[in-house]
Amino acid sequence: MTTDETSNSLPQLQSGPLITGAALLAAGGLIALAGIAIGTTHVVSASRRWIQAMEVPPTELAKIKLAQARVAALAGADAWRTEAAKRAADA
């Protein structure tokens, strides 16, 4: 055995297939990014059209629902206090 055979234990790689693989990987990444961009643009556009077609804008709907929740919470608390006061008076 010569010293070249023992010291060179790493695999011999050819640069051509490595460069081709890297180029294909980069091309695939760019195609994937283009697909993501097109899909995202479509979803955003469709969402904007959907929101514009709504009779009540989402911000107004949120305000209405929040007001309803506050009224319901106050009514529930008032009913609880009234019932607690009745039970205390009966006891």
58: Cβ–Cβ under 8 A, 6 or more apart, which residues?
51
**Are 58 and 51 contacting, i.e. CB atoms less than 8 angstroms apart?**
yes
Tell me if the pTM is above 0.75.
no
Give domain limits for the chain: 18-53, 56-91
56: Cβ–Cβ under 8 A, 6 or more apart, which residues?
64
Give residue 39's pLDDT: 98
**Are 60 and 52 contacting, i.e. CB atoms less than 8 angstroms apart?**
no
pLDDT in tens, the chain (91 residues): 555 555 678 888 899 999 999 999 999 999 999 999 999 999 999 999 999 999 999 999 999 999 999 999 999 999 999 988 888 888 7
**Are 48 and 54 contacting, i.e. CB atoms less than 8 angstroms apart?**
no
